[in-house]
Amino acid sequence: MSESTVLPVVRLCAVTAETAWDVFELSETLSAEQRNMVADNAESIAEAHFSDRAWYRAISADGELAGFLMLHVGADEEIDCPGVFLWRLMIAGPYQGRGIGRRVIESLVEYLRTRGIHELHASHGDGPGSPESFYTALGFVPTGEHYGEDHEVGVVLRW
């Protein structure tokens, strides 16, 4: 990273009646391949309403709506992972490649560390549009677990 690199200021914000449609529409900015890798935000928020383990937020970067994050905390029949699991993460197409996804994960790690939590689980699909390289760049390693009817490879970041 060069000395002149300016890191984005990332915030996690509640999704409100005023912002919900804008959050839904972020999904339309992903490529077709990327849309195969992550559920649409509207679908994720609908799922969250039927799960008492879901926690979701909109991602703002330098004050602009840029993405969506959803965690799953604790194991259940949906995700059999005892811990914090990165259920959904998407950065809107025009905002990708600017370090926002990295800052989101770093912020999450900072927060989890203060809560005495020392790992973050996630999973990814394979093939075109796969975010595997993103997880590798951030230090996630494979766990040997599989999720989503075994289509997704489990990875974990430990600190």
Ligand X SMILES: CC(C)(COP(=O)(O)OP(=O)(O)OC[C@H]1O[C@@H](n2cnc3c(N)ncnc32)[C@H](O)[C@@H]1OP(=O)(O)O)[C@@H](O)C(=O)NCCC(=O)NCCS
How open is the CA angle 113-116-122, to the nearest 5 degrees?
65
One of 10, 26, 27, 34 touching ligand X (CB under 6 A):
34
Q: How far is residue 17's CA from residue 15's CA, in Å, rounded to a whole number?
A: 7
> Residue 100, interface with ligand X (CB under 6 A)?
yes
In sequence order, what DSSP letters do the residues of 7-26 get, joined into one string?
Answer: ---EEEE---TTTHHHHHHH
Nearer to ligand X, 18 or 60 (CB): 60
User: Residue 104 has what DSSP assignment?
Assistant: H
Measured from the CB of residue 151, what is the shortest distance to ligand X in angstroms? 12
Residues 6+ apart with CB under 8 A from 41: 23, 24, 26, 27, 68, 88, 90
Q: How far apart are the first and last CA of the chain?
A: 22
| Out of 23, 37, 71, 156, the residue judged to bind ligand X by CB under 6 A | 37
**Should residue 121 be labelled a site residue for ligand X when binding is judged by CB under 6 A?**
no
- Closer residue to ligand X, CB minimum distance, 18 or 67: 67
Nearer to ligand X, 30 or 58 (CB): 30
C-alpha span between 129 and 13 (Å, rounded): 26
Give the count of residues interacting with ligand X (CB under 6 A). 20
Least distance (Å) from ligand X to the CB of residue 116? 25
Which residues bind to ligand X, rule: CB under 6 A? 30, 34, 37-38, 88-91, 96-102, 124, 131, 133-134, 137
